[in-house]
Amino acid sequence: MKNQVFRAGLLTATALAFGLTASGAALAEWKPDRPVELVVSAGPGGGSDIFTRVVQAALTKNSLVSTPLLVVNKPGGSGSEAFAYAEDNPDSPYKLYFGTQDAYVLPLTTKVTYSMKDLKPLMTMASDVFILWTNPKASGINTAQEFVEKAKAAPGKVRISGAKAKDADETLVTLIERAAGIDLAYIPYKSGSEAAIQVAGGHVEANTNNPSESLEQWKAGNQKPLCVFTSERLADKTVVADGVSWADIPTCVEAGINVKDFLQPRTVWMGANAPAEAAAYYTDLLKKVADTPEFKDYSTRNVQINKVLVGDEFNAYVAEQVKNYEKIYKDNGWLLSSGQ
């Protein structure tokens, strides 16, 4: 890494000496000739941040790129800062944007300066699943059915925590409420891990979360998975705790909460006018990353659904997701009045 840094410095120096300009180096086989920024739509330590840094680690360890990679956190305005940065640099081939569904969901609810037209979709590298968690010792809830019963008995009193407002977690909670015909008290925290600790400490009855942030608390007996929001059970059969494996967790549909396939895609974008050859280069590169042991490790640890979506497939996925979210948000009354 150190070497790379110095090599980059050297490169800059030679470029300077020969008076080369960036555009002079456009060859058929496009390659970045300067540091590439990996822009994250979240702060350090969060899910998107770790996703990006794993990609960075996989690229560095396997020497897939020769230029330095900089991870740049732009968490401002719920992550819209990152995509506004794409709007400001529409044609830069040296900037990749890492996010989740936030890229296309944010413009629906919040006043942001960018729109989907400012982003060139590259791919989804994997998708996180959501699980409904509780602390059985503190809440006395052991199954999803008990959770629904308890919520029916005390409308608006059963508390459920999640990360941020009007983001994935709160959206999911409104879906649960509608599917099960219950009324919950949603409490937003800054991050998923904070929300999980509130459940582990017994201050809140339940939370919705990606597996990784509650895994350790599950092992320690402070949290228990109730059901998973996918159409099929998870594939991972390694036993985690109490003789239960990921595959033993019932789907929420089985458990009586009819919400399926609520996923958090790990997405990558570029500026709208980035050169096509650069986009093709990065798509190839990231496909290779998805096959590295580092990324596979990360994916297994997070119990992700490993499905890479690129090109038209990804475009279709995004279009469908936007439609879904628009409908949910309309029902929730969260949509920005048109014109924004």
Partner 1 sequence: MGNFGQLMDGFAIALTTHHIMVMVIGVLLGLVVGVLPGLGAPNGVSLLLPLTFTMDPISAIILLTSMYWGALFGGSTTSILFNIPGEPSSVATTFDGYPMAKRGEAVRALTLAFSSAGFGALVGVLVITLLSGWVANFALRFGSPEYFGVYFLAFASFIGMSGGSPFKTLVCIMLGLAAGTVGMDTISGEGRLTFGIADLTRGISFLIVVIGLFGLGELLVTVDEGYKFDGVKAKLSLSVIFRTLLELPRYWVTLLRSALVGCWMGITPGGPTAASFMSYALGRRFSRRGRFFGKGEPEGIVAPETADHSAGSCALLPMLALGVPGSATAAVMMGGLMIWGLSPGPMLFTTRPDFVWGLIASMYAGNLIAVVLVLTTVPLFAFILRAPFSVVGPLIAIICVIGAYTVSNHMFDVWLALIFGIVGYVFKKLDYPLAPFVLAVVLGDKAEDAFRQSMLSSGGSLTVFFETPLVGTMMGLGILLLLLPLLSLLFGAIFGRGGGADAGEAADHQTSRP
Partner 2 sequence: MEISRNTMEVAAAATTALVGAVVCYGSLENGIAWGESGPQPGYFPFCIGSLIVAGSLANIVYTLWKGAARASAVGPAGEAAGVVAAEPFIDGTRLRQLAAFFLPILAMVVISAGLGLYIGMALYIFYAMRVSVGYRTITSLLISAAVVLINFFIFETVFLVPLLKGPILEYFGIY
Residue 136 interacting partner from partner 2, partner 1, none (CB closer than 5 to 8 Å by kind): none
Q: Does 64 bind partner 1 (CB under 8 A)?
A: no
Cβ within 8 Å of residue 10, ≥6 positions away: none
Q: Does 34 bind partner 2 (CB under 8 A)?
A: yes
Q: Which one among 34, 81, 247, 260 touches partner 1, defined by CB under 8 A?
A: 81
CB of 251 to partner 2, least distance (A): 31
Q: Does 154 bind partner 2 (CB under 8 A)?
A: no
Of the candidates 267, 323, 282, 286, the one whose C-alpha atom is nearest the C-alpha of residue 128 is 267
Q: Which one among 57, 65, 185, 308 touches partner 2, defined by CB under 8 A?
A: 185
Residues 52, 74: Cα–Cα separation, whole Å: 12
Residue 250 interacting partner from partner 1, partner 2, none (CB closer than 5 to 8 Å by kind): none
Stretch that binds partner 2, among 12-20, 76-84, 203-211, 307-315 (CB under 8 A): 12-20
Measured at the alpha carbon of residue 86, what is the angle toward residues 21 and 70, in degrees to the nearest 5?
Answer: 65
Closer residue to partner 2 (CB): 6 or 333: 6
CA 113 centroid distance within chain: 21
Q: Which one among 36, 50, 122, 249 touches partner 1, defined by CB under 8 A?
A: 50
Q: Which one among 91, 183, 284, 297 touches partner 1, defined by CB under 8 A?
A: 297
Residues 237, 207: Cα–Cα separation, whole Å: 23
Of the candidates 260, 276, 243, 257, the one whose C-alpha atom is nearest the C-alpha of residue 206 is 257
Q: Does 5 bind partner 2 (CB under 8 A)?
A: yes
In the numeric block, the tokens 């977690």 are attached to 169
Q: Which one among 9, 24, 44, 140 touches partner 1, defined by CB under 8 A?
A: 44
Dihedral angle sign, alpha carbons of residues 25, 26, 27, 33 = positive
